Amino acid sequence: MEGLLLFDAFQQADAALVDAGFAKRDGQRSREHGGNACLLALLALIVQLGIDVDEHAVFIGRHKLRLPLPLRESAA
């Protein structure tokens, strides 16, 4: 069941990246946004799994990661 949830989270993250313009419809990341696309995918997965998130950042332990604007809007 957990594997299915992770797969669903990755699919949703991929769709969010395409909608936000960070990836192309064929699944290929654009070169100029490759790093941002990876970060957005990671943050989308964190949001999907319900790790402590507020409107501006994700907290992992004592580390705070800022959420990019498109992800903040989709998480709300």
For residue 59, give the 3-state DSSP assignment.
Answer: strand
Q: Assess whether pLDDT exceeds 60 at residue 8.
A: yes
In which residue are the tokens 């696309």 written?
A: 37
Radius of gyration of the chain (CA): 12
Torsions phi, psi of 52, nearest 5? -45, 115
23-46 pLDDT, tens digit per residue, is 566 545 444 455 566 666 777 777
Share of the chain above pLDDT 90, in %: 0
Give the H or E element holding residue 73: helix 69-75
41-64 pLDDT, tens digit per residue, is 777 777 777 665 555 555 555 556
* Domain housing 30: 2-75
pTM of the model: 0.36
Number of domains in the chain: 1
Looking at residue 51, what DSSP letter applies?
A: -
